[in-house]
Structure 1
Amino acid sequence: MQAETTTRGAVSDLAYPPRKPSRLAQIARELGKNKHYYILMSPYMIIFFLFTVIPVVFSLGLSFFYFNMLEFPRFVGWENYARLFLNDDVFMIALKNTFMFAVITGPISYFACFLFAWIINELSPKVRAVMTLIFYAPSISGNVFFIWLIVFSGDSYGYLNGILIKYGFMLEPIQWLTNEQYILTIVIIVQLWLSLGTSFLAFIAGLQTIDKSLIEAGTVDGIKNRWQELWFITLPSMRPQLMFGAVLQITGAFAVADISIALAGFPSVNYAAHTVVTHLMDFGTIRFEMGYASAIATVLFGLMIGTNMLTQKLLRKIGE
């Protein structure tokens, strides 16, 4: 009798298997299990959603409206984007300058950050601390624009003009910051000088956390030089820091504005140093065409997301 009951129970289990919990039930169980962590994270998440996620979504929706801060928003569909790409010649200049700026400063500053971090990491702790401060200081200096304005001053008292005149390279000073031939190059140089910022510190931290036993194991497995060690051990172990640095460099390269305004003015001569962000500031904070400014911001956001996805795909190939 007992065997028959057991057999019927087994057949019943096979006929009616236990239901798999729904996705909502799994999420609820996960929240209940780790509720203390989510409570600790909640202040940051609330601020992040209020001041980052919601404004981005609101800006995306507003890009389909005409809104001048005085009248009620009026739906115009794709008109803002059509005007942006078909009728706004200044935006096309800004887009070209931004791409040129990003293509040059992004990769160079990224590799420079890692190269200097890798070299400095090999030094003794005290020397490493001093060198880290020296390389990081320009990115937090408050008078950096003032210094470069003196260097590229258009009179004979400017450092660059004074040196070139003194050694006979030219007879008259050059107006570096009002000549469209030189403006963008100067902005790129200054940005590269400022690029050793948070990414540089992240790479230093990542190099410090690499497990030394991996290097010893790699030596046993046949790694013969530092370049192989770098490719197969160091870089794969630093993927989180590499991704963090890439996001910062991409954002900094596409969002350049302060340097351009401080050095070349707003707007610059013939828009020679005009970028997407300065174009956004023009329509958002001066003309108050908020719908059009939102369209510019959405295009910039899409460029950053696309570049970020491409960078992630490239970083996954490290160490393969």
Structure 2
Amino acid sequence: MIQALLLSFQSGMGANLQYVGLDNYVRLWNDPSFMAALGNTCIYLIVQVPIMIMLALVFSVLLNDTTLKFKGLFRTAIFLPCVTSLVAYSVIFKYLFGVDGLVNYFLVKLGWMTEAINWLADPLWAKVIIILAITWRWTGYNMIFYLSALQNVDRTIYEAARIDGASNLQQFFHITVPMLKPIILFTSITSTIGTLQIFDEVMNITNGGPGNATLSISQYIYFLSFKYTPDFGYAATVSYVIVVLIVVLSIIQFRVAGDRND
């Protein structure tokens, strides 16, 4: 990390690097591709992480019900996506939402559309598909943490709440969420870090397109290093944006949701 920081103050190709001071950092604010990548990554973070955390919470509560049958099957089905290959599932999503993909086929057959949509060529829908892909893969991963924590919660707390007339919704917000607060903080931070580093889904589903509509910061770093004219100094500068964002957002999350007595 120290070497990367030193590299961010240099510019040039290959080993022919020269110190340029803060020029790379100044360049960031005049780089439309970087600003697009930053904006896209922030959209993924703001939209996807809360949805995924809430879905994981809901699934964990439902699957923690002692009266539910086939719990093992449901738990496995929801968790399986997170052990699939990043490249494999990204390519599957790409073909599912292709012009000739299964999504268009069924929507047309059901009469919900008159003709196929080129989902990946539309800036808005392309982002939506990226968000769907990330949510599908990582919801089960976070669910396992919540489910493990819920199994250590004394069930008499819920029984007392039911006797007092608390509804399922009230139990969720006044018992489950407070009891899982440390785990929610942990998964929120890890999910934030993962989303800020998103690469495989964008690379394999849309390749950053159309235009730069789905370009992520990590993908832009890859392009700067290996696709465009190689500029490892500027790529290191962009990578430190991720470092700063992770540190700042983690501190904010600890301040907002952390235990002040810790």
TM-score normalised over the length of structure 2: 0.85
Once residues 227 and 154 of structure 1 are traced to their aligned partners in structure 2, the CA distance between those partners, rounded to angstroms, is 41
Cα distance 1:168–1:134, how it changes in 2: closer, same or farther (>3 A)? closer
Q: Confirm or deny that 1:306 pairs with 2:248.
A: yes
Q: CA deviation at 1:81?
A: 0.9
Once residues 69 and 167 of structure 2 are traced to their aligned partners in structure 1, the CA distance between those partners, rounded to angstroms, is 27
Q: CA deviation at 1:229?
A: 4.3
**Uncovered stretches (5+) of structure 2, i.e. residues with no partner:** none
In structure 1, the partner of 2:233 is 291
Once residues 213 and 181 of structure 1 are traced to their aligned partners in structure 2, the CA distance between those partners, rounded to angstroms, is 47
Once residues 248 and 192 of structure 2 are traced to their aligned partners in structure 1, the CA distance between those partners, rounded to angstroms, is 10
Once residues 169 and 121 of structure 1 are traced to their aligned partners in structure 2, the CA distance between those partners, rounded to angstroms, is 36
Once residues 110 and 165 of structure 2 are traced to their aligned partners in structure 1, the CA distance between those partners, rounded to angstroms, is 51
In structure 2, the partner of 1:25 is none
1:271 aligns with one of 212, 220, 238: 212
Once residues 97 and 114 of structure 2 are traced to their aligned partners in structure 1, the CA distance between those partners, rounded to angstroms, is 16
Counterpart secondary structure, 1:182: helix
What is the count of residue pairs matched by the alignment? Answer: 257
Q: CA deviation at 1:149?
A: 2.6
Counterpart secondary structure, 1:268: coil
Once residues 212 and 254 of structure 1 are traced to their aligned partners in structure 2, the CA distance between those partners, rounded to angstroms, is 37
Once residues 116 and 151 of structure 2 are traced to their aligned partners in structure 1, the CA distance between those partners, rounded to angstroms, is 48
Instruction: Name the larger-Rg structure.
Output: 1
Asked if the contact 2:94/2:206 (under 8 Å) is kept, the reply is: no
In structure 2, the partner of 1:70 is 15
Q: Confirm or deny that 1:119 pairs with 2:57.
A: no
Cα distance 1:223–1:58, how it changes in 2: closer, same or farther (>3 A)? farther
Report 1:1-320 matches (<5 A): 56-71=1-16, 73-86=17-30, 88-124=31-67, 127-142=70-85, 143-155=88-100, 158-212=101-155, 224-265=166-207, 267-286=208-227, 287-316=229-258
Q: CA deviation at 1:283?
A: 1.2
Equivalent position amino acid for 1:61 in 2: L
Once residues 174 and 115 of structure 1 are traced to their aligned partners in structure 2, the CA distance between those partners, rounded to angstroms, is 32
| Aligned-residue CA RMSD (Å) | 2.8
Equivalent position amino acid for 1:204 in 2: L
Q: CA deviation at 1:178?
A: 2.8
Equivalent position amino acid for 2:45 in 1: A
TM-score normalised over the length of structure 1: 0.71
Q: CA deviation at 1:233?
A: 4.2
* CA displacement, residues 184-229 of structure 1 (integer Å, 9 cap, x when unaligned): 1221122222231432211111111224466578789x78455554
Cα distance 1:93–1:125, how it changes in 2: closer, same or farther (>3 A)? same
**% of aligned pairs identical?**
23
Once residues 223 and 314 of structure 1 are traced to their aligned partners in structure 2, the CA distance between those partners, rounded to angstroms, is 30
Q: CA deviation at 1:136?
A: 0.8
Q: CA deviation at 1:134?
A: 0.8
In structure 2, the partner of 1:33 is none
Cα distance 1:301–1:184, how it changes in 2: closer, same or farther (>3 A)? same
Once residues 232 and 313 of structure 1 are traced to their aligned partners in structure 2, the CA distance between those partners, rounded to angstroms, is 21
Equivalent position amino acid for 2:221 in 1: L
Counterpart secondary structure, 1:66: strand
Higher-RCO chain (CA-CA 8 Å, sequence separation at least 6) = 2
Equivalent position amino acid for 2:54 in 1: F
**Uncovered stretches (5+) of structure 1, i.e. residues with no partner:** 1-55
Asked if the contact 1:199/1:248 (under 8 Å) is kept, the reply is: no
Once residues 315 and 128 of structure 1 are traced to their aligned partners in structure 2, the CA distance between those partners, rounded to angstroms, is 31
Counterpart secondary structure, 2:15: coil
